[in-house]
A and B are shown apart, each in its own frame.
Chain A
Amino acid sequence: MKKNEVILSVSHLSKQFGSNLVLKDISIEVNQGEVIVIIGPSGSGKSTLLRCLNYLEVPTSGEIHLHGMNLHPKSSESEIDAFRKNIGMVFQSFNLFPHLTVLENITIAPIQVLKISKAEAIARATLLLKNVGLSEKINAYPRDLSGGQQQRVAIARALAMQPDVMLFDEATSALDPELVGEVLKVMKDLALSGMTMVIVTHEMDFARDVSDRVIFMDKGLIVEQGTPQEIFQTPREQRTIDFIKRT
Chain B
Amino acid sequence: MESELGFWAFSKIVVLPRLLGGMYITLQLTLISGALGLMLGMVLALFRISRFSILKWFSLLYITLFRGTPLLLQILFIYFALPTILERYEINMVLDSFSAGVLALTLNSAAYLAEIFRAGILSIPKGQTEAARALGLSRHQTMYKIIIPQTYRRIIPPVVNELSALTKETSLVSVISLSELLYVTQRIGSKYLRVWEVYIWAALGYLIIVMVLSLIAARVEKRLEFKGGV
- Interchain nearest-CB distance for A145 vs B (Å): 11
Contact residues, A98-127 vs B (CB, 8 A) = 98-101, 108-109, 112-114
Indicate if the CB atoms of A98 and B134 lie closer than 8 Å.
no
- Is A141 part of the contact surface with B, judged by Cβ < 8 Å? yes
Contact A109 B135, CB 8 Å, known A56-B130, A95-B128, A95-B130: yes
- Is B170 part of the contact surface with A, judged by Cβ < 8 Å? no
Binds A, one of B115-123, B138-146, B172-180: B138-146
- Inside 8 A of B135's CB, which chain A residues have their CB? 84, 88, 108-109, 113, 157-158, 161
Which of A101, A113, A158 is in CB contact (< 8 Å) with B137? A113
Chain A interface size range = 20 to 34
Which of B127, B134, B137, B149 is in CB contact (< 8 Å) with A99? B149
Indicate if the CB atoms of A112 and B141 lie closer than 8 Å.
yes
- Is B227 part of the contact surface with A, judged by Cβ < 8 Å? yes
Q: Give a binary string over B191-229; 1 marks a CB under 8 Å from any A CB, 0 the rest.
A: 000000000000000000000000000000000000111
- Interchain nearest-CB distance for B215 vs A (Å): 24
Indicate if the CB atoms of B228 and A100 lie closer than 8 Å.
yes
- Inside 8 A of B150's CB, which chain A residues have their CB? 97-99
Indicate if the CB atoms of B134 and A143 lie closer than 8 Å.
no
Indicate if the CB atoms of A97 and B128 lie closer than 8 Å.
yes
Which of A54, A95, A142, A158 is in CB contact (< 8 Å) with B127? A95
- Inside 8 A of A84's CB, which chain B residues have their CB? 133-136
Q: Give a binary string over B145-156; 1 marks a CB under 8 Å from any A CB, 0 the rest.
A: 110011000000
Cα of A98 to Cα of B151 in the assembled complex, Å: 11
- Is B94 part of the contact surface with A, judged by Cβ < 8 Å? no
- Is B82 part of the contact surface with A, judged by Cβ < 8 Å? no
- Is A89 part of the contact surface with B, judged by Cβ < 8 Å? yes
List the interface of chain B (C-beta within 8 A of A): 125, 127-128, 130-139, 141, 145-146, 149-150, 227-230
List the interface of chain A (C-beta within 8 A of B): 54, 56, 77, 81-82, 84-85, 87-89, 91, 93, 95-101, 108-109, 112-114, 141-143, 154, 157-158, 161
Give 6 A-B pairs besides A81-B138, A96-B131 with Cβ atoms closer than 8 angstroms.
Answer: A82-B136, A91-B127, A95-B128, A97-B150, A141-B227, A141-B228
